[in-house]
Structure 1
Amino acid sequence: MFTLLMSDLRAKQALYGQYGTPCSLPKAILADGTLANVLVRLQGQLVRWRLAPLALLPHVLNKWLNGCVIGVKTQFGPGLVLIHPVGVVINSAVRGGRNVWIESGVVIGDNRGGVPVIGDDVFIGSGAKVIGGLRLGDGCKVGANAVVTKDVPPGKTALGIPAVWR
């Protein structure tokens, strides 16, 4: 769990440092979303240890303290960044790759049994909805408030309602 948390913090440093001054580790730790990340990783670890009922504690704390609901069985690779966790809702069956950056108000959910699979190096903008059995390809971006219901190829940007990619 510590390794995952450190990779999440390094990804947050990269995010915050990409447009100017490098971001220090203490700044990344104190930035918005870090507590949400810690609680997501803790609930995932408890599920892996077959202590799923205990995983509900960090799940509920995340809802109360950070305003986000992220399923206890949700899995993301290293480098997950919840930039602003308020309003984020992620279904328990969602699987994500490494270096996934998620803004506030994002919903990633189920539609008739199909859940999204998120590739590596993906950015999901504020208010976006990613619904159903689709794939967000490696390196893609989802624009703010986009509603994605179909696959987005690697390296493309999905925009609009319904989202189209460019």
Structure 2
Amino acid sequence: MKYLKSDIRQKQQILTDEGYQVSLVRTLVSDGTSANALYRLTSWLVKYKLSPLALITLWLNRVINGCVIGAGARFDKGFVIMHPVGVVINSKVVGGNNIVVESGVVIGDEKGKAPVLGSNIFIGAGAKIIGGITIGDNVKIGANAVVVKNLPSNVTAVGIPAKVIQKGVNKC
């Protein structure tokens, strides 16, 4: 639960950068914030060995938000789900700071190995990140991209399969 405050502040900053005058209340009721809160609550419940309650919060996230984030998934501060419908994140996924996820994103394992994500990453709507790969820091992944190989830091990747189209990307 210690990261929930930073998640909400990060989302408020993103909405403000998009040209909206955003209050804390508007951020709290915006699409995706409840998915973030339920994910953080689930993680907290698992950490303190309250797994039966964690199953309830996992179910609530699926029913209320149309979002499945495995109980073991770990993201540092600033994790933001902009639009939760169709988001599926495997329980083995590990992510750094300031990761933004749009709708329909799948981050999944293959043969028991899941992606490791760096910090300052934007993942566009419908993108898929699959397998035991590493995504570097400061990476933008375009809408509907399918990432099945490692991506270095400071790049933009798009396509099926994803290919780097821009290098030298600053912080996302």
TMscore range, shorter length = over 0.9
Mark the runs of 5 or more structure 2 residues left unpaired by the alignment: 166-172
Tell me the TM-score normalised to structure 1 length.
Answer: 0.96
In structure 2, the residue matched to 1:96 is 95
TM-score by length of 2: 0.93
CA distance in 1: counterparts of 2:18 and 2:154, whole angstroms: 20
Per-residue Cα deviation, 1:64-101 (whole angstroms, up to 9, x for no partner): 00001110111100111100000000000000111100
Q: Which residue in 2 is equivalent to 1:11?
A: 10
Matches within 5 A, 1:110-121: 110-121=109-120
Question: Are the counterparts in 1 of residues 75 and 97 from structure 2 also a CA contact under 8 Å?
Answer: yes
- Residue 39 of structure 1 corresponds to which residue in structure 2? 38
Q: Distance in 1 between matches of 2:121 and 2:130?
A: 16
Unaligned runs of 5+ in 1: none
1:140 equivalent in structure 2: 139
Segment drifting more, 124-133 vs 48-57:
48-57
Opposite residue 157 of structure 2, the aligned amino acid is A
- Give the residue type in structure 2 aligned to 1:124: I
SS at match of 2:3: helix
Residue-pair matches, total: 165
Alignment-derived partner of residue 169 in structure 2:
none
Q: Which residue of 1 aligns with 2:61?
A: 62
Matched residue, 2:128: 129
Partner Cα separation in structure 2 for residue 102 and residue 19 of structure 1: 15
Q: Report the residue type matching 2:97 in the other structure.
A: R
- Cα distance, 1:21 vs structure 2: 4.2
RMSD: 1.0
Opposite residue 88 of structure 1, the aligned amino acid is: V
Displaced runs of 4+ in structure 1, greater than 3 A?
Answer: none
CA distance in 2 between counterparts of 1:62 and 1:105 reads 15
Shift of 1:20: 2.5
Partner AA of 2:54 in structure 1: A
How far residue 22 of structure 1 moved from its aligned partner, in angstroms, is: 4.3
| 2:23 aligned residue | 24
Instruction: Tell me whether 119-128 or 49-58 shows the greater mean CA deviation.
Output: 49-58
What's the counterpart of residue 149 of structure 1? 148
Give the counterpart letter for 1:109 in structure 2.
G
Asked if 2 retains the 8 angstrom alpha-carbon contact of 1:13 and 1:22, the reply is no
Percentage of matched positions with identical amino acids: 53
- Indicate the residue corresponding to 1:81 in structure 2: 80
Q: 1:113: how far off?
A: 1.8
